[in-house]
Amino acid sequence: MTDSPLVDDRNVTPEELQLAARNHGMPLEGLRYDVTPAGMHYLLIHFDVPETRPDTWRLAVDGHVRSALDLGLRDLQGRETVTRRVTLECAGNGRARLAPRPLSQPWLLEAVGNAEWTGTPLAPLLEEAGLDDDVVDLVFTGADHGLQGDVEQDYQRSLSVKDAMHPDVMLAWEMNGQPLLPQHGAPLRLLVPGWYGMTSVKWLTRIEAVPDRFEGFQMLAYRRRDQADDDGIDVTRIFPRSLMIPPGFPEFFTRTRIVDAGRIDLTGRAWSGWGRIVRVEVSTDGGTDWQDATLGEQPTPVEWVPWRVAWEAEPGAYELVVRATDDAGNVQPLEQSWNHHGFENNAVQRVPVTVRSGR
């Protein structure tokens, strides 16, 4: 499918920089907020943010259904309304930490956010349309249009009937109590809690029920492959990750951290799409000795959980490391998890800090 060159140079190409200037991560001090403020949530847009108007927006639900639906935003807002906190992460998060590095959006660690989404559950809508017995996949089409891997396309992703009917899946028109921002899919997007973000199609215009497995460009693109021509494995749910708020204060350019000696509370968040987070461990010596962190409340498995650990910091140089384990048994690896397109790399965060004498 798509050619996806690998580069050995740790420096990032001008093309990657163009993407990094458009898309953006959540500065890690943003982990302090239960709900990620508007504009701090990570953002990955394949093509352009399309121009959309909420008053004329239509969603088609069609294909192999008994009653095709054609809905305006107000129609949807008149249905059952739910609000859910959901942690979203880009499947490419961690890609730029790989060597060799797959050329695409060069994420380090920041491609995450936890927002409060308001919308309507998808399952009742699909029930109302009435899926034909032969339906295999639901294809979700967004309004963003472009070229990728020589294929001109509207952005499209699919879900199996079973996954689409999951009670968590919703169509959202609000984020953090405000109408969706243009860059987050205004006026309407799909939201698939627990799954990497590429599944939650923004600027949603159509849901088509199809009798075959959908193999559109973005379905083939988001596969975990050891080599470019492998069949690969679908990228679906989010593998566990824990991130720490880098303690102390930064140096502007290198972002190295300086911490005053004394007792420090190291804090952060952890999440997984495969189950609840059951353990977060912190090391201050680069990953040899580990200390269990105290976990806060995780109201639902699809939002992040806060964690905290005390550290008696004495002057010196340290490498702080944090790793999470979920109740499906997934543990974050210490080494980068390499694959050809750089998906699902949930290797642990490492934060070098210099502790100086307290003052």
Residue 359 and residue 345 in contact, taking contact as beta carbons nearer than 8 Å: no
The site string for its own copies over 86-125 (x = CB under 8 A, - otherwise) reads ----------x------xx-xxx-x---------------
How near is the Cβ of 265 to its own copies at its closest, in Å? 13
Instruction: Please tell me whether residue 203 binds its own copies under the rule CB under 8 A.
Output: no
Residue 217 and residue 151 in contact, taking contact as beta carbons nearer than 8 Å: yes
Nearer to its own copies, 90 or 164 (CB): 90
Euclidean distance between CA atoms 123 and 190, whole angstroms: 12
Nearer to its own copies, 121 or 246 (CB): 246
Instruction: Please tell me whether residue 6 binds its own copies under the rule CB under 8 A.
Output: no
How near is the Cβ of 287 to its own copies at its closest, in Å? 20
Residue 168 and residue 194 in contact, taking contact as beta carbons nearer than 8 Å: yes
How near is the Cβ of 80 to its own copies at its closest, in Å? 28
Euclidean distance between CA atoms 263 and 242, whole angstroms: 22
**Interface with its own copies by CB under 8 A: which range of 45-53, 74-82, 135-143, 268-276?**
45-53
Per the listing, tokens 């497995």 go with 213
Euclidean distance between CA atoms 204 and 190, whole angstroms: 7
Residue 71 and residue 61 in contact, taking contact as beta carbons nearer than 8 Å: yes
Question: Considering only residues 46-85, where is the footprint of its own copies by CB under 8 A?
Answer: 46-49, 51
Instruction: Please tell me whether residue 243 binds its own copies under the rule CB under 8 A.
Output: no
Question: Considering only residues 300-359, where is the footprint of its own copies by CB under 8 A?
Answer: none
* Among the listed residues 1, 35, 38, 60, the single contact to its own copies using CB under 8 A: 38
Question: What is the dihedral angle through the alpha carbons of 345, 346, 348, 352, rounded to the nearest 10 degrees?
Answer: 60
Please give the structure tokens belonging to residue 341. 């397109």
The closest alpha carbon to 264, from 320, 295, 310, 307, belongs to 310
Judged by CB under 8 A, the number of residues near its own copies is: 59
* Among the listed residues 227, 254, 288, 357, the single contact to its own copies using CB under 8 A: 254
Question: What is the dihedral angle through the alpha carbons of 198, 329, 36, 202, rounded to the nearest 10 degrees?
Answer: 10
Instruction: Please tell me whether residue 267 binds its own copies under the rule CB under 8 A.
Output: no
How near is the Cβ of 160 to its own copies at its closest, in Å? 26
Residue 20 and residue 12 in contact, taking contact as beta carbons nearer than 8 Å: yes
Residues paired with 206 in a beta bridge:
60, 141
Instruction: Please tell me whether residue 30 binds its own copies under the rule CB under 8 A.
Output: yes
> Which residues contact its own copies (rule: CB under 8 A)?
9-25, 27, 29-30, 32-33, 37-41, 43, 45-49, 51, 96, 103-104, 106-108, 110, 145-148, 152, 181-184, 246, 249-255, 258
